[in-house]
Amino acid sequence: FYTNSIEKLDESIKVIYFDAPFFAIQSSDLKPNLFRILNKYVGSINEIGIKLHPGRSNTNKTVLQYGIEVESFIPAQIIDYSSCKLAISYGSTTLAKTILDDLPAISLTYLQGLDEETVRREVRFLKLINNDILLPKSFGEFESMVKQILQPVF
């Protein structure tokens, strides 16, 4: 895939959420809790961009009820995230500094309900691609991080 163009996100999108295939998420309450928290700190669901995993014909699209869809066929590497304040994903290369620049990134690795060894490997990988990555271990920590990023104190 080669392109010399950059895709702009809708200017209303403040949070970009990169979804994961269903098998990567072991905790059934993860997405509802995640979006319940996000909705406290955004003005509307139109401020949450949801990018489904590309190339998955069996992707469950129910997550789109929580935000607006960012076309999954567009590679994350060519999207301009300058209108965003926060990126959220799991153990994904989409959270790499080379893709997000200085955009704060939260990984949901600890919240997925995965086994300890898988979490350890994911965290090591994530710290290699983005040494500023935020890794909450509870929904309370996640909410504190979201609040600090989306509602900074002046």
- In order, the DSSP letters of 110-127 are GGS---HHHHHHHHHHHH
Q: 10 Å Cβ neighbour count for 17? A: 25
- At residue 58 the predicted structure's pLDDT band, cuts being 50, 70 and 90, is low
Output the CA–CA distances (angstroms, integers) from residue 132 to 103, 111, 152, in the order listed: 10, 18, 18
pTM (two decimals)? 0.89
pLDDT tens digits along 85-133: 999 998 788 999 999 999 999 999 999 888 899 999 999 999 999 999 9
Coil vs helix vs strand at 76: helix
* C-alpha triplet 89, 94, 95: angle, nearest 5°: 65
Residue with tokens 């955009």: 103
Distance CA 140, CA 124 (A): 23
